[in-house]
Structure 1
């Protein structure tokens, strides 16, 4: 089981002080957070691509290259790279380049994104979101696996004996996760290729995401890749932990209720019981996270958001210290899956 953190690099005021970090502070802070996550023994640091305020993560591969220079072992991933509005050629080259900088500890999560206005900004039609995702990923796979690609499709100019440079490190492309909130077609795509399937597990009940995971597992097996329980599943979530439950709920409450998307799940106590948000003492957080396996079955990756909604970097580091000392060791023992680690030998 890989355990790590993911985020989207939002810049919003701390609702308790009104203070807002600068873009530079937020960008450089991502490196400090990733290094701290590595130091406490986490396995993954992931950052998602956004192009609209209040996010600073428009260039995810550049941010991860910066993080690569501050770390040595932690896996570098995205959460998400937009397969719909990016050119597959640029994705292929950017992430192969990142491999040569960071070594084999690079993977990628692809998704359609959830900001409608991004599509016209990049000359795309949101009504073509699913066909774009399907066609662009088919091309991306070929660009990583074939030295010379001749290709034509619906959404970009044809390629004639094109070679994406640099080539993937040691000839092995980054492992691919497909992230989704509401699209069974993306789960189907992941199952077709035997790639990983990741549900963000936030903002809605865990039971909602279970339906997509179950569908992906069934289609993974029906596509001939093994048993449903062999499918490669990842899940998100969020953590706010303090030594006591009362302290955690009291301190996190203003961050939760000022977050327009997070708070859509209802009262904080309800969200902490029914969604992927884990708030409370270390044991309460552990107990809630352990319920995810009841819904998703044996899964291979668990990522948590800890730096969103105006939570200042100081508190993020306090969270990491407590997670490292009082949460992570137990999670590692409890979340060990009986299924062989699919990431150690991904189907390419």
Structure 2
């Protein structure tokens, strides 16, 4: 099972210190966060894509490429890549290039995003959101898997005899997760292709997450990719830890209260009760995370959000260290217990290459 962190890259004022980092500082800190995640023994660093203030990650491949040059092991992902407003041709080129630079340590999480105005900024209509996600991804898959593509669709100009360059590393495209919180059509899309489904359940109650994952697992099996328990599932979560739970609550509360997402809504305690938000001791976070399996089944990837909302960079690095030293080792051991042998690991470039070589050998024999 893979464990890691994800960031939305928001630029927020620290409500305690009263300071706001510059864009330059925030971008540099994203890189430092990823490097620290690798040093702490985490498996994945993922970052979102946004094109509006107060966010800075408008160019994920640039940042992830820079991180790839400073790391050697950690898998670099997106959370998410906007499949609706990006040109599939450019996505095919950019992420194949990143795949080469990172020696295969790349996968993607496709999503529609949660910022309505981004659609007209890139010449799209939000009312076409689902249709764009379906058409653009179908083209992206072909561009990665076919040497020469002839294609015509509804939302972009046709392609005639087009070859996307560079070709995917070792002839194997990056693994794709489809990220969604509320859209069953995206769970269906992930199941149709046999891709991964990532439910960023960070703001949602367990019963909703359970329904979405069950839909994906059922349809994954329907399309013949394997049994429901073999479907590839990822979950999000948000955490803040201190050795003493009271200290964690006291320190996190002002950031929660001033958050544009959480502030003004249910209390911190109510939010923790109704969503996966975990604020407390490392053991409390362990217990809460292990409980995700009760409604998600055995799954493959767990990502935590530990930054944003103006949290000091020093505090963010401390959270990563706690995850790496006290939380993730226990979670690895506990999630491995009684895990059926039929449940697959999260795909990696190496495993995808091995699977492709096995299929080629079978075809020859």
TM (norm. structure 1) is: 0.98
Q: Using the alignment, how far apart are the partners of 1:21 and 1:61 within structure 2?
A: 22
- Name 1:341's counterpart in structure 2: 345
Structure 1 residue runs of 5 or longer lacking an equivalent are none
Partner deviation per Cα, 1:39-89 (whole Å, 9 max, x = no partner):
111000000000000000010111100111111100000000000000000
> 2:328, 2:345 → 1: CA distance?
19
Tell me how many residue pairs correspond in the alignment: 348
Quick check: 1:245–1:281 contact (8 Å CA) kept in 2?
yes
1:71–1:342 CA distance, 2 compared to 1 (3 A): closer
C-alpha displacement of 1:274? 2.7
Deviates more, 1:74-83 or 1:270-279: 270-279
1:273-326 deviation per Cα after TM superposition (whole angstroms, max 9, x unaligned): 331211100111101111111110010000000011111111001111222221
> Moved runs in structure 1, 4+ residues, more than 6 A?
none
Q: CA separation in 1, counterparts of 2:265 and 2:185?
A: 25
Match in the other structure for 1:44: 44
Cα distance in 2 between the residues matched to 1:307 and 1:138? 33
Partner residue in 2 for 1:16: 16
Map of 1:64 onto structure 2: 64
Deviation at 1:340, TM superposition (A): 2.5
Task: Write the distance in 2 (CA, Å) between the matches of 1:211 and 1:261.
Answer: 24
The 1:342/1:243 distance shift into structure 2, 3 A limit, reads closer
Partner residue in 1 for 2:175: 175
Query: Paired residue for 1:247?
Result: 247
Q: Is the 8 A contact 1:4 1:42 kept in 2?
A: yes
Counterpart contact for 1:217–1:229, Cα < 8 Å: yes
Counterpart in 2 of 1:123?
123
Contact kept, 8 Å, 2:82 with 2:113, in 1: the verdict is yes
CA contact (8 A) 2:301 2:346 kept: no
Superposition map of 1:26-37 within 5 A: 26-37=26-37
The answer for the alignment partner of 1:105 in structure 2 is 105
Instruction: Decide which moves more: 322-331 or 256-265.
Output: 256-265
Residue 310 of structure 1 corresponds to which residue in structure 2? 310
- Decide which moves more: 316-325 or 175-184: 316-325
Indicate yes or no: 2:302 matched with 1:298.
Answer: no
How far residue 94 of structure 1 moved from its aligned partner, in angstroms, is 0.3
8 Å CA contact retained: 2:237, 2:304: yes
Q: 1: CA distance between counterparts of 2:32 and 2:346? A: 30
Measured in 2, the distance between the counterparts of 1:6 and 1:319 equals 13
With 201-210 and 70-79 compared, the bigger mean Cα shift is at 201-210
Q: Please state how far the C-alpha of 1:206 moved relative to its aligned partner.
A: 2.3
CA distance in 2, matches of 1:113, 1:322: 30
Deviations 1:173-223 (A, max 9, x none): 000000001110000000000000001111121221111111000000111
CA contact (8 A) 2:2 2:346 kept: no
Q: Gaps spanning 5+ residues in structure 2: where?
A: 357-365
| 3-state SS of 1:343 partner | coil
Instruction: Provide the C-alpha distance between the structure 2 equivalents of 1:251 and 1:123, rounded to a whole number of angstroms.
Output: 43
Looking at structure 2, the residues matched to 52 and 202 of structure 1 have their Cα atoms a distance apart, in angstroms, of 21
Counterpart in the other structure of 1:74 = 74
- Where does residue 278 of structure 1 map in the other structure? 278
Whole-angstrom CA distance in 2 between matches of 1:273 and 1:69: 40
Q: What residue is the counterpart of 2:332 in the other structure?
A: 332
